[in-house]
Structure 1
Amino acid sequence: MKFQKWNIGTPDERDVALLRSAGYPCLLSTVLAARGITSAEAAAEFLERSRKLTHSPMLLKDMDKAVERIQRAISQKETIAVFGDYDVDGITSTVLLRDYLQSCGVKCLRYIPRRIEDGYGLSEDAIRGLHDQGATLMVTVDCGITGNEEVDFANSLGMDVVITDHHECKENLPAAVAVVDPHRADCPYPFKHLAGVGVALMLVLALGGESREDALFARYCTLAAIGTIADVMRMEGENRTIVSCGLEALPHTDFVGVHALLKEAGLLGKPITSIQIGFVLSPRINAAGRMGAADLAADLLETSDPARAEELAKELCELNRERQAVEQAICADAVEKIGRLSNEERSALVLSSERWHQGVVGIVASRLSEKYACPSFMIHLKDGTGKGSCRSYGGFNLFAALESCADLLDGFGGHELAAGFTIPEGNIDAFRQRMNRYVRSASGGEVPVSCLDIDAAITCPAEMTLSEAEHLSYLEPYGAGNPRPTLALLGATVDSIQPVGQGRHLKLRLSKGTCRFDAIFFSVTEEECGICAGSRVDAAFYLQANTFRGNTTLQLQLIDIRPSLTPSRHEAADLELLDRLTGGGRLTAQETARLGASREQFAAFWVALERRLRQGKLETERLPFLRRLASQGGGTESFLRAGLAVRVFAERGLLSLADGDETVTLSLNPIQGKVDLNACPYLMRLHGCAARNGGDGL
């Protein structure tokens, strides 16, 4: 199990039926109902993909000032510098704005910081360099909102600054000509979740004017879509429009670098969804910034030379492979460090090392947050200073948490779910202690567990067809607030399991009733999976069409798999029989015989239980626990008799037993002397029944 808890939605059957009667396919209706979309009108509104942005870019606070200053620079042939960021959002923002400004005939400089040498955001050295090259106006994209001192420095040089950003604002804004950020407290723009590239797009649309909005949106929506998906923005409102139109325009975009990267990644000519952008294209662009070569990705997106684009795309993909290797090494080191942390230090993971690559720690922080169900803070150390990247978990507000520790930091920036910070090495221990206290306080002292949100469990496996899987794509584009549909198949059987991809992945065959399904479990080994052929399991998955050698079939892309928490018919009958025995209900002679465990079986069950419980209290899922215990007893009716043994041991006081909805908690009791199991009333009833002639039951 990758996730400790599954939250499985239970859509109302009447809502599903209503949507189906309106003509929506079965699984699509199920997912819509699970997400609270329960009428035909609401479904039509949600699934509608608008082709036009709803709000005027001029609603953004200071947009009028930004437009006036930039248009003046264009008309007076000033040199303009675009200052971006080194992630996908920042790179696409930089390319988008610079492409537009160059089309206006102005000289436009580009500056993207090097992640390791320069760090995040504005810097005086960079500003001085741009000024020395003749820039009289600097426009920031996806950064700058916390650069108060740097903007003051630019002003002192006589360089005007226009800031466009989408990160959280501090109380005092920089003294720029214009500060365009939807998160400004005084910004009336209704949609607050634009990516940095979304704000840059709005700036270009405002500069072009209403008459050119459609043409400019058509040119730049693909770049804006890539940046929006990569920055994991909420997939609703304006973002949904940007991404929908951007994906549709992708095959015929004017940016030849995008085509070259699609080709190198093996996606050219294939249908592209938000999934491919998020998991294939974006990591390759992002790798450039993480490995200290963000300009390489910007060069790729800016070039108009197909041969040069092909060359740069190959370099980018090679950088991504290098990044993956570095990431795996850091992750292994971090997991080892976590093993040495105390329980008080596991509410927020604060880890540091001089060996870690500064550009990759953010990705590892994401992995750790998911794996350990808590916020993660990964810090690269150099010369007594730590540069950290942090990632949230469960909606925890990182920006507010960093603000609470501001006195320990040299600086920080970002938003609720992802942020960066700088910290003196000597403050890391204090930061770790305070951040752990903050997280525990915010969570009410509860121990976090990794959770998987599942839209619904499939009640009729026959309804999972290739056609139904394709209809789920109506929900695209996916993203925060509109995740890819996650479904569960409960009580399935593993018919076969085999490693593929040089042992890095697993291919499974699952069945339930007469239905059979192929499944793939990426980046999981047989040992990690812990499931074998013949096991009864619950599977959580994405439903997808898989094309191999021209043949398209249905496939389950597994997210998690666990021993099933739903009983089979035989197990349910056994549990009902045990309830009748312990509750004083009537038993037949045949049922009494089935319950007749031997002394050797009881002994085997006790040895297995005592060995495990001597390690401490056990809290686990009831059915998988009984199945494991049953395997220790051997013989027929082992599941039934394992359940009986546990109840007998508990009644005799050998152990404490507490039942939850799906869990069981057991612990050993201190006992002196021997305990007579035959004195248990459950066994006395069984012995009495067996002694009766005819075996008519109790």
Structure 2
Amino acid sequence: MKFKKWNIGAPAAADVDRLQSAGYPYLLSTVLAARGVTTAEDAAAALERERSLSLSPMLMQDMDKAVARIQRALSDGETIAVFGDYDVDGITSTVLLMDYLRRCGAHCLRYIPRRVEDGYGLSRDAIQSLRDRGATLMITVDCGITGNEEVDFAASLGMDVVVTDHHECKETLPAAVAVVDPHRPDCPYPFKHLAGVGVALKLVLALGGRSREEALFARYCTLAAIGTIADVMRMEGENRTIVYCGLKALPHTDFVGIHALLREAGLAGKPVSSIQIGFVLSPRINAAGRMGAADLAADLLETDDPARAEELARQLCQLNRERQMVEQAICADATEKIEHLPSEERSALVLSSEHWHQGVVGIVASRLSEKYACPSFMIHLKDGTGKGSCRSYGGFNLFAALESCSDLLEGFGGHELAAGFTIQESNIDAFRTRMNRYVRTASGGERPVASLDVDAAITSPAAVTLAEVEQLDQLEPYGSGNPRPVFALLGATVDSLQSVGQGKHLKLRLSKGATRFDAIFFSMTESECGVIAGMRVDAAFYLQANTFRGTTTLQLQLIDLRPSLTPSRHEAADLELIDRLVAGQTLTSQEKARLWASRGQFAACWTALERQLRQGKAEENALPFLRRLSVLSGGCESFLRSALALVVFQERGLISLNREGDRMRLCLNPTQGKVDLFACPYLSRLRPATGEPRGDRP
């Protein structure tokens, strides 16, 4: 069980029926209703995908100044430098703007910082080198909004700066010729969630003018889509349009490097959705920046030589494999450090090491935040200075948190969910203490738990077909604010399971009633999963079409698996019978005979109970506990007898059992001498049916 809490949506059956009556398929209707879309009119609006961007780029504050200065540079033949960031958003932004300027005949210089050597954002050394190479105008993409001192330095060298960015602004903006950022407090642009590449695209559309908007959007929408998906922007408004159009244009894009990367990643000729961009293509581009070779990815996207593109794509995929190995090592080291942290330092994980690769700590921070359900701050140390990357959890505002600790930092930048910072090693302990205190205060003192949002539980398993799953594509593109639908199957049975992929993954067969499903659980072993054939489970999953050897079938891609928290029909009947016994209600002779347990059966249950408590199973949901108790007490003991044993042990004072909702907490009580189990009044009511003699405590 990866998530301690499942938040399962419960769309009203009437809403689902209403949407189905309007012609929407069962699964799509279920997701829409779970997300508050309950009428045919609202569904049509929610599923509508624009084919063009309707907002004028000139609505952005300072866009007119940016256009005027860049057009003057183009007219005068100035050398223009494009300064980008080293992540996917920054790389695609840089390539997009460079391509446009070069096609306008400009002499351009490209500068993407090396993550380890240069760090994040603008730097004086980089600006000096660009000025030395003749640049008189520098345009930043996906960075620069917090580079006040660096912009002033550029001005002192006689270099103008146009800042385009999408990150949060500080109180004072850089003194640039133009500052184009939707997050400017005075920016009237109505859509605030563009990625850096979205802002760069808007700049190019403004430079080209209204007459060329359609052609320029067609050329650059795929680059913009990749950067937008990779930067996990809200998938609504203009972002939805950019990504939808970019994915549609992907097979026909003029950028040969994208085609080469698709082939190297095994996606050539296959349908590519936002999921493949986010989990297959983007990590390969991002690996270049993380491993200090962002220019390699930019070269790939810029080249028009197919042979060179193939070679660069191979190098990029190799870098990604290296990144994965480094990431695994750092994650293992960080996890070990966390195990030694006191509880008061686990509200926010602040970890540091001289041995961690600076380019990879950010992605490890993401994994730690998900695993431990809290914000994570990973710091690479070198010569007494730390370069940190942090990731949020549960909507926690990182930017505001870093601002509250700004006196301990050399600098910081980013946004609510992901950010970077620089800190002196001597300040890390104070930063850790203050950040943990800040998180506890922000959360009201309650520590969040790892939770999974599930759109809905499947109520009609037989209606889940491949055709139904394909209709879910109407919800694409997925992303922040429009996540991929997650479903649950409650009370399913594990028919079989086996390890696949050299033991790294788990393949299962699940059934619910007469309906059977194939399932795959990636990065999960049989021992970690903790389920066995025949076990009753709840499954949370994505639905997908799986093609193998030319045959396409329906498959559940498992996200989490837990012992079922819903009783079967037989379990519910057994528990109801126990409740009637305890309440003193009249039982038939057949019911009394079913309930009766022998001394040996009570002894087996007692042994199994002690074993569970030794394994730390003292607190959990009652149903899984009872099922496991039944299995451990010999396999032939019924669920009913296990439930009976618990109420008898409790009545006799052998155990304490407290319930809070579905969960129970159980512990053994100290006793002296033997305890007569069969003196229990519950068993006394059963004796006439059997004549079983009394017995002592097992």
TM range (shorter): over 0.9
Q: Which residue of 2 aligns with 1:318?
A: 318
Residues 246-645 of structure 1 correspond to what in structure 2 (within 5 A)?
Answer: 246-613=246-613, 618-634=618-634, 636-645=636-645
Structure 1, 288-297 or 180-189: larger mean CA deviation: 180-189
CA shift, 1:514, in A, is 1.1
What stretches of structure 2 of length at least 5 have no aligned partner?
Answer: 693-698
CA shift, 1:612, in A, is 4.5
Structure 1, 430-439 or 190-199: larger mean CA deviation: 430-439
Paired residues of 1:589 and 1:690 also in contact (CA < 8 A): no
Paired residues of 2:226 and 2:277 also in contact (CA < 8 A): yes
CA distance in 1, matches of 2:153, 2:656: 69
Q: Equivalent residue of 1:656, what SS?
A: strand
CA distance in 1, matches of 2:280, 2:351: 28
Aligned AA for 1:590?
Answer: Q
Q: Equivalent residue of 2:17, what SS?
A: helix
CA distance in 2, matches of 1:168, 1:668: 55
CA distance in 2, matches of 1:675, 1:384: 65
Aligned AA for 1:508?
Answer: L
Q: Which residue of 1 aligns with 2:696?
A: none
Q: Which residue of 2 aligns with 1:75?
A: 75
CA distance in 1, matches of 2:668, 2:421: 48
Q: Which residue of 1 aligns with 2:695?
A: none
Paired residues of 1:32 and 1:38 also in contact (CA < 8 A): yes
Q: Equivalent residue of 1:532, what SS?
A: coil
CA shift, 1:187, in A, is 1.0
CA shift, 1:613, in A, is 4.0
CA distance in 1, matches of 2:650, 2:405: 49
Structure 1, 295-304 or 339-348: larger mean CA deviation: 339-348
CA distance in 2, matches of 1:443, 1:617: 28
Q: Equivalent residue of 2:117, what SS?
A: coil
Post-superposition Cα deviations, 1:599-651, rounded to whole Å, max 9, x if no partner, equal 22223323333454468783211111111111232364521111111122222
Structure 1, 676-685 or 93-102: larger mean CA deviation: 676-685
Q: Which residue of 1 aligns with 2:659?
A: 659
Q: Which residue of 1 aligns with 2:13?
A: 13
CA distance in 2, matches of 1:399, 1:393: 13
CA distance in 1, matches of 2:512, 2:242: 41
CA distance in 1, matches of 2:187, 2:394: 28
Paired residues of 2:247 and 2:272 also in contact (CA < 8 A): yes
CA shift, 1:319, in A, is 0.5
CA distance in 2, matches of 1:387, 1:189: 33
CA distance in 1, matches of 2:618, 2:438: 29
CA distance in 1, matches of 2:363, 2:369: 10
Aligned AA for 2:46?
Answer: F
- Structure-2 change in CA distance of 1:617 and 1:310 (3 Å): closer
Q: Which residue of 2 aligns with 1:696?
A: none
CA shift, 1:583, in A, is 1.6
CA distance in 2, matches of 1:432, 1:265: 40
TM-score scaled by length of structure 2 = 0.97
CA shift, 1:57, in A, is 0.8
CA shift, 1:322, in A, is 0.6
CA distance in 1, matches of 2:635, 2:235: 55
CA shift, 1:563, in A, is 1.0
- Structure-2 change in CA distance of 1:145 and 1:582 (3 Å): same
Aligned AA for 1:449?
Answer: V
Post-superposition Cα deviations, 1:92-133, rounded to whole Å, max 9, x if no partner, equal 000001111111111111000000000000000000000001
CA shift, 1:352, in A, is 1.0
Paired residues of 1:369 and 1:375 also in contact (CA < 8 A): yes
CA distance in 2, matches of 1:363, 1:386: 17
Aligned AA for 1:215?
Answer: A
Paired residues of 1:167 and 1:414 also in contact (CA < 8 A): yes
Paired residues of 2:601 and 2:637 also in contact (CA < 8 A): no
2:32 counterpart of 1:32 = yes
Q: Which residue of 2 aligns with 1:190?
A: 190
CA distance in 2, matches of 1:244, 1:144: 28
CA shift, 1:52, in A, is 1.4
Q: Equivalent residue of 1:136, what SS?
A: strand
Q: Equivalent residue of 1:272, what SS?
A: coil
2:206 counterpart of 1:179 = no
CA shift, 1:535, in A, is 1.3
Paired residues of 1:96 and 1:201 also in contact (CA < 8 A): yes
Structure 1, 5-14 or 567-576: larger mean CA deviation: 567-576
Q: Which residue of 2 aligns with 1:125?
A: 125
Q: Equivalent residue of 2:559, what SS?
A: strand
Paired residues of 1:500 and 1:507 also in contact (CA < 8 A): yes
Q: Which residue of 2 aligns with 1:695?
A: none
CA distance in 1, matches of 2:648, 2:409: 59
2:124 counterpart of 1:134 = no
Q: Equivalent residue of 1:347, what SS?
A: coil
Post-superposition Cα deviations, 1:166-223, rounded to whole Å, max 9, x if no partner, equal 1111111111111111111111111111000000001111111111111111110000
TM-score scaled by length of structure 1 = 0.97
CA distance in 1, matches of 2:563, 2:617: 21
Paired residues of 2:113 and 2:120 also in contact (CA < 8 A): yes
Aligned AA for 1:559?
Answer: I
What stretches of structure 1 of length at least 5 have no aligned partner?
Answer: 693-698
Paired residues of 1:617 and 1:668 also in contact (CA < 8 A): no
CA shift, 1:374, in A, is 0.8
CA distance in 2, matches of 1:324, 1:390: 19
Q: Which residue of 2 aligns with 1:219?
A: 219
Paired residues of 1:602 and 1:633 also in contact (CA < 8 A): no
CA distance in 2, matches of 1:434, 1:600: 58
Paired residues of 1:373 and 1:393 also in contact (CA < 8 A): yes
Paired residues of 2:608 and 2:633 also in contact (CA < 8 A): no
Post-superposition Cα deviations, 1:225-256, rounded to whole Å, max 9, x if no partner, equal 00000000000000000000000000000100
Structure 1, 667-676 or 279-288: larger mean CA deviation: 667-676
CA distance in 2, matches of 1:74, 1:580: 87
Aligned AA for 1:124?
Answer: R
Q: Equivalent residue of 2:229, what SS?
A: helix
Q: Equivalent residue of 1:194, what SS?
A: coil
Paired residues of 2:593 and 2:689 also in contact (CA < 8 A): no
Paired residues of 1:617 and 1:667 also in contact (CA < 8 A): no
CA distance in 1, matches of 2:135, 2:632: 77
CA distance in 1, matches of 2:82, 2:277: 25
CA distance in 2, matches of 1:9, 1:43: 18
Q: Which residue of 2 aligns with 1:61?
A: 61
CA shift, 1:460, in A, is 1.1
Paired residues of 2:607 and 2:633 also in contact (CA < 8 A): no
CA distance in 2, matches of 1:584, 1:65: 84
Q: Equivalent residue of 2:685, what SS?
A: helix
Structure 1, 276-285 or 527-536: larger mean CA deviation: 527-536
Post-superposition Cα deviations, 1:523-550, rounded to whole Å, max 9, x if no partner, equal 1111111112111111111111111111
Paired residues of 2:490 and 2:538 also in contact (CA < 8 A): yes
CA shift, 1:691, in A, is 5.3
Q: Which residue of 1 aligns with 2:2?
A: 2
Structure 1, 663-672 or 87-96: larger mean CA deviation: 663-672
Post-superposition Cα deviations, 1:415-452, rounded to whole Å, max 9, x if no partner, equal 01001111111111111111111111111111221101
Q: Equivalent residue of 1:116, what SS?
A: helix
Post-superposition Cα deviations, 1:558-588, rounded to whole Å, max 9, x if no partner, equal 1111111111111111111111111222211
CA shift, 1:688, in A, is 4.6
